[in-house]
Structure 1
């Protein structure tokens, strides 16, 4: 079992750094950085799945915090919606992480693949969706819908993880009526809370690899800063294109996992 950096080869550390940079950039723009980061961690000899999940969350929280601050300073997201949504998402993520240690993610992967395909088709066939902010609800209904999104996707992030930012963005675009830039800015704040919620569960269990997590976190910070600045500068159209690319990659990755698990089963 791995305890830190001392037993890991330089090539593996470099792989983690590169994965952290790329994952931070992807997470800052549309989410889904776990596609790169989690598999890279699982390549470390002796690491357990729970250690990989915990360390992935530590790395991610550095990146999401950096990108959330960058978005806040440059895009000024509505905190009246984002902060309560983040608080509910944190609770959901803690619950998902608690379930993750006892329930195989393979139970949910086929459902997630179907949901992602539906999201990709919906976004591709409606090129104007997410271009402008046209809020669908006001008052309590708006905040209630936002809280429901935060709770559900927060739970998913604690349980499985990859694609959380993408799910948050498309949910806020579809059910709340935000444009892609506004949704992405709020998603970073909520995603930061979901990472914190999962970490709150994993830390007391001693699953976190601090050395690897700090290296991963620093790399994630750099990638997150660059990605957030680029997203704000390029706007909703750029985010929509990257969103479709990342969701397509998620479909391929999770679809392949389901196929492999069915063959082994």
Structure 2
């Protein structure tokens, strides 16, 4: 029974064993993503391994449905406990939504290998910089005036949203990188704002995928419930442990991203 394909509509003929594995992966992804981003490193590879529906597009699209519920719930959890500057985070989220939609629309015409190389080099640099500066992101020390900060956040949100629309891994982590390394946020504040923006990027991608019929709604709903549970627990853990804890998780996730992207390049 565990290995028999399920005939339920919207589940892509996955087996019960595969469904249970995907639910566990979604729970873990939600927890990691809520703390510092990078949950797609867990959730999407498992989807691509099982390949519900028989094509990769179903995995990519269904991943967005599961992820958007998790990021939204984490954003709400953070907002109740951490101060979020909505006057800047809101426009950043709107720009990220537009960028994500544009990235999804143009995904097939861009040299993804070149983009992967650029992202990999940037990740190595950011990881080393963060590791060698223990005080980075521990305190909230904005580097710009209000107008310049808004401009940087909006431009960065649009760019990272575009990357997310291309199904690139680690969007949440890149948002944290931007807010901590460039804008000067503390890790905890950056994670809170990143969840709001990442929710918008997931919605932008879904706005493209849903009309195409690529989202397996039944499977996505089960994974979304598991992702939501993990996200709430992860966000509460991050708030209770503070920026120093988030920084440590961030370094682990960046290392995993580097390994993932380097492997992708090596395998072509």
CA shift, 1:104, in A, is 5.9
**TM, length-normalised to structure 2:** 0.93
Identify the residue that residue 55 of structure 2 maps to in structure 1: 48
| Cross-structure match for 1:26 | 32
Aligned position for 1:182:
189
- Whole-angstrom CA distance in 2 between matches of 1:57 and 1:101: 18
Aligned to 1:91: 98
Paired residue for 1:220? 227
Deviation at 1:101, TM superposition (A): 4.0
2:12–2:216 CA contact under 8 A, matched in 1: no
Partner Cα separation in structure 2 for residue 6 and residue 131 of structure 1: 44
Gaps of 5+ in 1: none
Supply the distance in 2 between the matched residues of 1:79 and 1:101 (Cα, whole angstroms).
34
Q: CA deviation at 1:23?
A: 0.4
Q: Hey, what does 1:124 align to over in structure 2?
A: 131
Q: CA deviation at 1:7?
A: 2.0
Range with bigger deviation, 96-105 or 182-191 = 96-105
Corresponding residue to 2:201 among 162, 174, 194: 194
What is the CA distance between 1:118 and its match in structure 2? 0.8
Q: CA separation in 2, counterparts of 1:110 and 1:27?
A: 23
Change (3 A) 1:240 1:4: same
1:114 to 121, 132, 139: 121
TM-fit CA distance, 1:103 = 4.1
Tell me the equivalent position of 1:242.
Answer: 249
CA distance in 2, matches of 1:25, 1:47: 28
Gap regions ≥5 residues in structure 2: 1-6
Partner of 2:148: 141
- Alignment partner of 1:157 is 2:164: yes
State whether residues 12 and 54 of structure 2, in contact with CA within 8 Å, keep that contact through their aligned partners in structure 1: no
Q: Distance in 1 between matches of 2:65 and 2:222?
A: 10
Give CA deviations for 1:225-263 in whole Å, capped at 9, x if unaligned. 0000000000000000000001101101110110011xx
Q: Distance in 2 between matches of 1:35 and 1:240?
A: 18
Decide whether the 8 Å contact of 2:124 with 2:258 is kept in 1: yes
Structure-2 change in CA distance of 1:102 and 1:41 (3 Å): farther
CA distances 1:44-65 after superposition (whole Å, capped 9, x unpaired): 2443222111111100000000
Q: Take 2:219 and 2:114, find their aligned partners in 1: how far apart are those partners?
A: 29
